[in-house]
Structure 1
Amino acid sequence: MSKTTRDALCREIFALNEQIRLQSYELVGPSAFPPDLTMRQLHVLVAASRDEGLTVHQLATELGTSAPTASGLVDRLAAKGLLTRVEDTADRRVRHVHLTEDGQEMLSQLDSAYERLLGEIVELLDTDELKAFRDNSQMTLDIIARTRQHRSDHPTISST
C-alpha cells in the first residue's frame, strides 16, 4: 500500500470516527457528559473506579503523565466532590484515590446512557449486521490491545 493510499484511509477513519462521536453525543443527549468535566478527568474517574485506592503515582503511570499532572487532575476532581484522597496508614507521603458517591453516580449515569444507546442501535440490526458489528467491535478491541502492547514496548510514546 502506498503512503498516499494509507494517508487517505487514515483521514477517512478519523473523519468517520469523529462523525460517530458527534452523532452518538446527539443521540445520548447533552446531559450524559457533564460540561465541566474534561475527557482527561473522565479517564481519572474510570481509573479510580477500576482500581479503588490506587496511588497518585500509579494513576500517573496509567495515564502516561507525570505525578504532578495526575495530582492536579485529582485535586480538580476532589474539588468537584468526585474523588477523595486518603492518607496511607504506613506512609504518610502516599495518598490513595477513591471515588466518592457522586463520582460513582456520575460514572453510572454515563454507563447507563451508553448502554441505552447501544441497545437502541442493536435493535435496528439484522443478524448479518449484528455479526459484522460484533466482528468490528472485536477488531477494535484487538487493535487497542496491540496499541497498549506497543506503548508498553516503547514507553517514550506519549498517550497525550
Structure 2
Amino acid sequence: MPASARTALVERFLADRSALGRVMALERMQPWLDVPLTMAQLRVLLLVAGGVATTGSALATALDVTPATVSTSVDRLVEAGYLRREESADDRRVRHLAPTERGAELHARLADRHEATDEVLDLVADDDLAALVQGFAALRAAIETVAERRRSAERD
C-alpha cells in the first residue's frame, strides 16, 4: 500500500475514532443524566443494590461519613421507593437495606449497558462485523506489542 493511502486511512481512523468517542460518551452519559437522585442518594443506592453495604453502619464506613449523614439519604430513598428496610433475623436492633423493584431497575439501567451495544451491533452487517472484529484484534495486538516494548525499555 502506498504511504499516501496508508496516511489517508490513519487520518480517517483517527477522525472516526474521535467522532465515535463523542457519540459513545453522550450515549453512556444519558442514563446518568436522567437520574432523579442527589449524588449522595445515588451513591447509597449503588452500594446497597450492588450488595456492597446493606446496613447504615456499613454504608457510613464505605462512604467515610457519619451514620447520621447516611440516615438522611436512606430516609429519602425509602420515602421515594428506591430502598426498603428489613429487620435482621439475627438481631432485631439491626435493619438491613435492600433495593425495591424501582431501585433495582435503576441500578440495572445504570450498571448494564450491554443491551445498547447489542442493539447497535444488530445493525451492523455480518461482513462489516467480521471486519470490525478482525480490526479490533489487530489493534489490540499492536497496542499490546507497543506496551511490551515500553515495559522492556523501562527494565533496561
Shorter chain as denominator, the TM-score bin is 0.5 to 0.7
Q: Which residue of 2 aligns with 1:59?
A: 59
Distance 2:74 2:138 in 1: 45
Distance 1:67 1:96 in 2: 14
Matched, 1:126 2:136: yes
Q: Secondary structure, in 3 states, of the residue corresponding to 1:37?
A: coil
Q: Figure out how many residues of one structure are paired with residues of the other and give that number.
A: 111
Choose 98-107 or 53-62, whichever is displaced more.
53-62
Distance 1:129 1:82 in 2: 42
Shift of 1:85: 1.3
Higher relative contact order (CA 8 A, sep 6+): 1
Distance 1:78 1:71 in 2: 10
Shift of 1:75: 1.0
Structure 2, unmatched stretches of 5+, are 1-20, 122-128, 148-156
Q: Which residue of 2 aligns with 1:36?
A: 36
Instruction: Report the RMSD for the aligned CA atoms in angstroms.
Output: 3.4
User: Is contact 1:49-1:99 (8 Å) kept?
Assistant: yes
Per the alignment, do residues 29 and 61 of structure 1 end up closer, same or farther by CA in structure 2, a change over 3 Å counting?
closer
User: Is contact 1:54-1:97 (8 Å) kept?
Assistant: yes
TM-score by length of 1: 0.53
Q: Which residue of 1 aligns with 2:68?
A: 68
Distance 1:126 1:95 in 2: 49
Per the alignment, do residues 109 and 66 of structure 1 end up closer, same or farther by CA in structure 2, a change over 3 Å counting?
same
TM-score by length of 2: 0.54
Per the alignment, do residues 36 and 116 of structure 1 end up closer, same or farther by CA in structure 2, a change over 3 Å counting?
same
